[in-house]
């Protein structure tokens, strides 16, 4: 436990505001009123909330201390598998806060919003080039919203061919939001069991695909961190039955500018700009889930579309086959600016970012292989999945390993996902962590594995350093206590 990394803020003690309050303290001062008081209508008065009496300094110092407790990519490594938590250059935040962009009103007439429209127009073209697709909409607010848009495109495409299909194939290695998105559009999800090696078997898909199936939703790379090697064969099988291929691009950080999705047979693809193209991920903040499509599906994209005529940009709603609007105005513009700045600043190095992300994950896989059970011993993409199989004989679980990692100063990886792996421990290092940090994480996990053999109680009682140790996570989610 010597020379651990991470923040020390997690061990600070801080009372609740209700414990700090003293009767009579106030946090503001106003000039003496020079008008007579007037009684309020009874309907406007009542018993106020039970807030404590606090001074300004009490409040400022309390929240300043609390802010240092946050763990994020600015304070330490965040190897959260399945959710790319990479460090994003702060210059992209600066570009998004430029007054001409941040304060641009969405109801500005096009002639006064040429800069904003150009960013959207160019960003669509950049994303199309990076993915190999033909056209892009920036409207979806996040990944799952992009999935919903994709399913609406499925429905509308088949309707345009006078077909009403009711089923969607969804592999067990897809993201968990896929079935929900399909269900929202009235489709029935048909689970597809992954084949040997954790990837899709064309034979399995062929056995399930029929003329009542609208298509398939594939996460590629999949949630095991593996590339779907058979995707071209799978796409041919689906297309032969008149179906479409949807690709969940949430794991695009492994293949940016490297894989041409259209060449793989993908018809619709969503991206998570907040995972792959700058913008810190997590915390429920605004995201952006653009949807990329083939030329055949472009007429169905949401309105409005940004078009350029005579070197000027404008919005057009004259799209009779469109699925309509799926977001207020034009999407989360601030996130689009960050992605635009990220792509311009990275240029051709976008590919290198993906290459480094894959290299980092494979380095971790090789160093931890044997220490932790590796269910799929093959080259991975941007993340690798282990299990707690080697530690179960010591009555140590994946949860115990993750909790112990907090004592070593690291945010835990994703655990118990993907569901197809029992006791999964999923690590995504990203391309932004230097080798020294990756080695510290690996060394900590090796030390924890040794502790599991020699002193398993260290893990089952972990974490011991933070003020709050093991939470009742179910009760915290279902019965949150937000007051003192």
Strands of the 244-249 sheet, one edge to the other: 135-137, 291-293, 268-271, 244-249, 213-219, 167-171, 188-192
Q: Decide if pLDDT at 408 tops 90.
A: yes
- Percent of the chain's residues with pLDDT above 90: 82
Per-residue confidence (pLDDT) for residue 343, from 0 to 100: 97
Query: How confident is the model at residue 311, as a pLDDT?
Result: 94
* Residue among 136, 210, 150 nearest 181 (CA): 150
What is the structure's pLDDT at 55? 96
Q: Over the stretch 367-395, which tens digit does the pLDDT of each residue have?
A: 999 999 999 999 999 999 999 999 999 99
Segment holding 307, helix H or strand E: strand 305-309
- The C-alpha angle with vertex 177 and arms to 256 and 244, in degrees rounded to 5, equals 65
Over residues 138-167, the mean pLDDT reads 97
Summarize the confidence of residues 234-239 as an average pLDDT.
98
| pLDDT tens digits for range 416-440 | 999 999 999 999 999 999 999 999 9
Least confident of 7-21, 26-40, 228-242, 277-291: 7-21
- How many angstroms separate the CA atoms of 114 and 96, rounded? 16
- What does residue 208 show for φ and ψ, rounded to 5 degrees? -105, -25
- 109, burial (CB in 10 Å: exposed 0-12, middle 13-18, buried 19+): exposed
What's the pLDDT band for 1 if we cut at 50, 70, 90?
Answer: very low
Q: Which region among 37-46, 184-193, 372-381, 420-429 has the lowest average model confidence (pLDDT)? A: 37-46
pLDDT of residue 48: 83
Nearest to 245 by CA among 187, 169, 194: 169
* Gap between the Cα atoms of 450 and 473, Å rounded: 27
In this predicted structure, what is the pLDDT of residue 8? 46
pTM: 0.90
Residue 236 has pLDDT above 90, yes or no: yes
Q: Is the pLDDT of residue 162 over 90?
A: yes
State whether the Cα torsion 206-209-215-220 is positive or negative: negative
Q: What pLDDT, on the 0 to 100 scale, is given for residue 3?
A: 52
287 close to 273: Cβ distance less than 8 angstroms: yes
> What's the average model confidence in pLDDT over 25-37?
90
pLDDT digits 0-9 by tens, 53-80: 999 999 999 998 888 877 888 888 999 9
Q: What is the pLDDT of residue 250?
A: 94
Checking if the pLDDT of 480 tops 90, the result is no
- Which pLDDT tens digit goes with each residue over 295-329? 999 999 999 999 999 999 999 999 999 999 999 99
The pLDDT assigned to 204 comes to 98
Residue pair 431/354 in contact by the 8 Å Cβ criterion:
yes
10, pLDDT greater than 60: no
Please check whether residue 256 is in contact with residue 275, taking contact to mean a CB–CB distance below 8 angstroms: no
Instruction: Output the pLDDT for position 2.
Output: 47
What distance in Å separates the CA atoms of residue 30 and residue 316, rounded to the nearest whole number? 51
Mean pLDDT of 172-184: 93
- Cα separation, 419 vs 377, whole angstroms: 18
Q: What is the pLDDT of residue 4?
A: 56
């Amino acid at each position: 436990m010597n020379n651990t990394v991470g923040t020390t803020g997690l061990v600070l003690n801080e009372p609740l505001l209700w414990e700090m309050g003293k009767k009579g303290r106030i946090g503001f001062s106003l000039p003496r009123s020079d008008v007579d008081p007037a009684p309020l209508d009874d309907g406007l008065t009542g018993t106020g909330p039970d807030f404590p009496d606090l001074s300004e300094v009490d409040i400022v110092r309390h929240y300043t201390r609390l802010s240092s407790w946050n763990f994020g990519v600015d304070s330490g490594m965040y190897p959260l598998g399945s959710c790319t938590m990479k460090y994003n250059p702060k210059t992209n935040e600066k570009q998004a806060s430029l007054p001409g962009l941040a304060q641009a009103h969405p109801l500005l007439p096009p002639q006064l919003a040429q800069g904003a429209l150009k960013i959207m127009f160019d960003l669509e073209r950049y994303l199309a080039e990076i993915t190999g697709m033909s056209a892009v909409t920036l409207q979806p607010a996040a990944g799952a919203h992009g999935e919903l848009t994709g399913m609406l495109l499925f429905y509308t495409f088949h309707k345009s061919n006078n077909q009403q299909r009711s089923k969607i194939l969804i592999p067990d290695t897809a993201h968990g939001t896929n079935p929900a998105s399909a269900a929202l559009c009235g489709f029935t999800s048909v689970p597809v069991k992954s084949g040997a090696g954790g990837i899709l078997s064309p034979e399995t898909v062929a056995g399930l695909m029929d003329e009542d199936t609208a298509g398939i939703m594939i996460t590629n790379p999949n949630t095991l961190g593996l590339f779907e090697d058979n995707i071209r064969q799978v796409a041919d099988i689906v297309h032969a039955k008149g179906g479409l291929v949807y690709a969940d691009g949430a794991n695009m950080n492994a293949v940016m500018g490297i894989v041409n999705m259209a060449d793989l047979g993908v018809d619709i693809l969503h991206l998570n700009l907040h995972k792959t193209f700058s913008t810190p991920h997590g915390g429920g903040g605004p995201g952006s889930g653009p949807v990329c499509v083939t030329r055949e599906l472009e007429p169905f994209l949401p309105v409005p579309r940004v078009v350029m005529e005579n070197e000027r940009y404008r919005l057009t709603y004259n799209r009779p086959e469109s699925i309509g609007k799926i977001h207020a105005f034009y999407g989360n513009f601030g996130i689009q600016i960050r992605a635009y700045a990220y792509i311009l600043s990275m240029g051709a190095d976008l590919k290198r970012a993906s290459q480094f992300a894959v290299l980092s994950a494979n380095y971790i896989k090789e160093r931890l292989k044997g220490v932790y059970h590796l269910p799929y011993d093959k080259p991975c993409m941007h993340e690798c999945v282990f299990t707690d199989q080697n530690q179960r004989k010591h009555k140590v679980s994946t949860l115990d390993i993750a909790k112990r990692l907090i004592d070593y100063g690291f945010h835990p990886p994703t655990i118990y996902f993907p569901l197809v792996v029992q006791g999964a421990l999923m690590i995504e290092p990203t391309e932004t962590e230097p080798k020294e940090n990756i080695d510290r994480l690996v060394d900590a996990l090796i030390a924890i594995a040794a502790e599991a053999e020699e002193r398993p109680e260290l893990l089952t009682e972990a974490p011991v350093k933070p003020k709050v140790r093991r939470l009742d996570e179910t009760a915290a989610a279902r019965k949150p206590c937000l007051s003192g």
